[in-house]
Structure 1
Amino acid sequence: MGTAIVWLVNTVLMLMTWAIIASAILSWLFAFDVVNHRNRFVSQLATFLDAVTGPILAPFRSIIPPLGGIDITPIVALLAIHFLRILFNEMSRPFLITVLG
């Protein structure tokens, strides 16, 4: 059971990492007019990624101002997620695996 919880937490953090990366790449594609919002699939994908990554990026956006029009909050969020993953794996994983099996 402990191994399953560790796997679940690590998988969720990895999926959040990929969602933030995909959202950043999609925002660059919009900025350089490679894709547009008129495409239905692209619009739905952008809405989904904004809904998923918005709650994670919002606290960082309230603290970190845009630097010359460049939003560095995805980088800070990725660093925070990586930090949480390391912290969880080093501190909670041994405890969960020994207690829950």
Structure 2
Amino acid sequence: MTSLFQILMLLIDVVFFVVIVHIIMSWLISFGVLNLRQPMVAQIWDGLNRLVEPIYGPLRRMLPPMGGLDLAPLIVIIGLYALEIILRNNVALFL
């Protein structure tokens, strides 16, 4: 059961990393550092969007319009931390 706990923690870390990369890449695209007309950048951006949109989509529908401010990544990060805290506090169930 310890391996199940470690796998869950690994999945949380991977999702956290993907969300952070998506946030940073969106900033770089917005500020003109990265150009979506470059094929490699466009492929990475499309792949990241396909990974995070199933998570962001339901949250964006529940959140009120904020005038261009997207709070979905922040809520996902807080949710991941909360899930990690819950798992770490209940690690005895996995032993």
Q: Which has the higher contact order (CA 8 A, sep 6+)?
A: 1
Q: TM-score, normalised by structure 2?
A: 0.91
The Cα shift of 1:57 comes to 1.2
* CA deviation profile, 1:21-78 (whole Å, cap 9, x unmatched): 1101111111111111111111111111111111111121111134231111101110
> 1:23 touches 1:49 (CA, 8 Å); kept in 2?
yes
Partner of 2:92: 94
Partner amino acid, structure 1, of 2:92: P
- Please give the alpha-carbon distance, in whole angstroms, between the structure 2 residues aligned to 1:34 and 1:49: 17
Q: 1:17 to 1:66 in 2, by over 3 A?
A: farther
Look at both structures and tell me which one has the larger radius of gyration over its CA atoms.
1
CA RMSD of aligned residues (A): 1.2
- Percent identity, aligned pairs only, is 26
- Please give the alpha-carbon distance, in whole angstroms, between the structure 1 residues aligned to 2:60 and 2:41: 24
Q: TM-score, normalised by structure 1?
A: 0.86
Partner of 2:31: 32
Aligned residues: 95
Moved over 6 A (4+): none
- Please give the alpha-carbon distance, in whole angstroms, between the structure 2 residues aligned to 1:72 and 1:12: 22
- Please give the alpha-carbon distance, in whole angstroms, between the structure 1 residues aligned to 2:72 and 2:55: 10
The Cα shift of 1:11 comes to 0.7
| 1:53 maps to 2:52 | yes
Alignment of structure 1 residues 69-80 onto 2, 5 Å: 69-80=68-79
Segments of structure 2 that go 5 or more residues without pairing to the other structure are none
Partner of 2:63: 64
